[in-house]
Amino acid sequence: MKTVGILLAGGLSRRFGSPKAFAKIGDDYFYEKVHQALSAVCDEVVIVTRKELVQLFPPELEVVTDHVAVSDKGPLAGISTAMKLKRADRYMVLPCDMPFIGPAETRELLKLVNSKAQVTAVKTEDEKIPLFSIWAGNFSEELEQAIGDEKLSVFDFLNSLETTWIDHWLIHPNKDKFRNINRNSL
């Protein structure tokens, strides 16, 4: 079963103040941590980013921008772009601003995927985490239609699908592992 990793690195990072993909934890960029986590379980990884950031990534990585038809339409556009570019049985999605998720967590999520669901995603006691998730490879047309209709909310889209929410403690007991970094202070 082919699994493609989708590393979302195209957000505007308004609250953060600079591109989150290139923020650092220790000696590593956020995108490097996320790429390592995805590479541990995926056959290949594609980074979806903004045009002005492409040149900042190492040339050996596969880096793309949204297709013109969905450009600047948020995370759903990045997922759609990767699905169109790379055909796969499933896609593991992880944004660059979740650098605490590592290979152990991606392996556990892959073990817990609900093969009958269109999307398997993670939740904590406090929130749902739609972008640490595994998406089946069979509904790219519905995704494209939602984007075309300007229905850009990830939550709304997942609510229209058969989505399974996995409790974080099945993957890692510390819910802080799943936090999204929105401010430039760790």
Residues 39-53 have pLDDT tens digits of 999 999 999 998 989
Say if residue 15's pLDDT is above 60: no
Q: How far is CA 42 from CA 88, 101, 167, 179, in A?
A: 10, 15, 22, 22
Range with lowest mean pLDDT among 110-114, 131-135, 143-147, 162-166 = 143-147
Q: What average pLDDT does the structure give for the chain? A: 90
For 33, counting Cβ atoms within 10 Å of its Cβ (0-12 exposed, 13-18 middle, 19+ buried), the class is buried
At residue 167 the predicted structure's pLDDT band, cuts being 50, 70 and 90, is very high
User: Per CATH, which fold does 3-178 belong to?
Assistant: Spore Coat Polysaccharide Biosynthesis Protein SpsA; Chain A (3.90.550)
**Residue ranges of domains in the chain:** 3-178
Three-class HEC string of 148-174? HCCCCCHHHHHHCCCEEEEEHHHCCCC
The token pair that represents 83 in the structure block: 């699905």
Alpha helices in the chain (DSSP H): 30-39, 75-85, 103-112, 140-148, 154-159
Range with lowest mean pLDDT among 4-18, 92-106, 172-186 = 4-18
Single pTM value for the model: 0.93
